[in-house]
Amino acid sequence: MLDLRDNHLSRLPETIGGLTRLVHLDLRNNRLRELPAGLLGMTALEKLDLRWNKLDGDPAELRALEARGCVVLR
């Protein structure tokens, strides 16, 4: 688990996808507006918490994660 909530993050690095064994990523209450495509490289991810961010639209990355069974909280 990686807990990055409440850090005022406005973006994530593309290299986050290298965390291939990460199961739970908590990004609550940051300033994220978009997500890197590298997020799809996180093949073990089971839960992604993005509540209290202001993402633009409905990112394709989130739909792809949900399609493979990842729980995405928005």
pLDDT in tens, the chain (74 residues): 999 999 999 999 999 999 999 999 999 999 999 999 999 999 999 999 999 999 999 999 999 999 999 999 99
Per DSSP bridges, beta strands 47-49 and 2-3 are unpaired
Question: Is-contact 40 64, C-beta < 8 A?
Answer: yes
Three-state DSSP at 53 gives: coil
Residue 45 CA: distances (Å) to CA of 2, 8, 29, 49, 74: 11, 22, 19, 11, 15
